[in-house]
Amino acid sequence: MTGVARDGSSRGERSVRGGDDLKKRSIRELLALWAGVLRELRERQVVRTFNNPIGDIAEMLVALHYGGEQGSFSQKAWDVQVGDELLQVKALRRTGRRARRNLSPIRSDDGYTAVVIVIFTEDLRVEKALRVPREVVNEMFERRPHVNGRIIVVGQDLLEHPAVETVELSDAALDG
């Protein structure tokens, strides 16, 4: 990949802070590094599982933003509770390789108040966040039997819907 690396170099090589050149690492070393990073993020309570951390990070940021509580893993329809509101959180990471716009399925037609969509850049900076009322989800996105749910597509129709709100979601908690 070309461009400016995190260490400020423009050699066209991927580097991480401290000058550690990822291109020189074996696949096994990269996987071990990734696993170690996930373990450390779990220790710091940023993520709750060893799966792709995007969803856990989005849930944490939404809970911090609204002053809410993250639900347990047994909660099917919502991820963050804020008073009487039950929020489902969906995350999308833009990688530049392809313009992904589909989110994972919403499997419940009720049981939540709204969906908060968090869109991250490739480097996990919050690019945009949206609050979409459940009624809008049910109105705009048909239930797809093959996934047993509704797949939200982040497109112009959704972005311009009058009931969809932009959320000024900070990712500053990730700096610590």
End-to-end CA distance of the chain: 27
pLDDT reported for residue 96: 74
Which residues of the chain form CATH 3.40.210? 52-175
Mean pLDDT across the stretch 106-126?
94
DSSP state of 132: E
pLDDT reported for residue 26: 86
Describe the chain by its helix, strand, coil percentages, rounded to 5: 25, 25, 50
- For the chain, what is the mean pLDDT? 87
Residue 176 scores a pLDDT above 80: no
Beta carbons within 10 angstroms of residue 71's beta carbon: 19
Which of the following CATH numbers is that of domain 52-175: 3.40.210, 3.40.50, 3.30.450, 3.30.410?
3.40.210
What is the per-residue pLDDT across 27-85, written as a single tens digit (0 to 9) for each?
888 888 988 998 899 899 998 887 788 999 999 999 999 999 999 988 889 999 999 99
pLDDT reported for residue 17: 56
pTM: 0.80
Query: Which amino acid is it at 73?
Result: F
Mean pLDDT across the stretch 144-169?
97
Residue 124 is encoded by which pair of tokens?
């996990």
137 close to 124: Cβ distance less than 8 angstroms? no
Q: How far apart are the C-alpha atoms of 127 and 64, rounded to whole Å?
A: 17
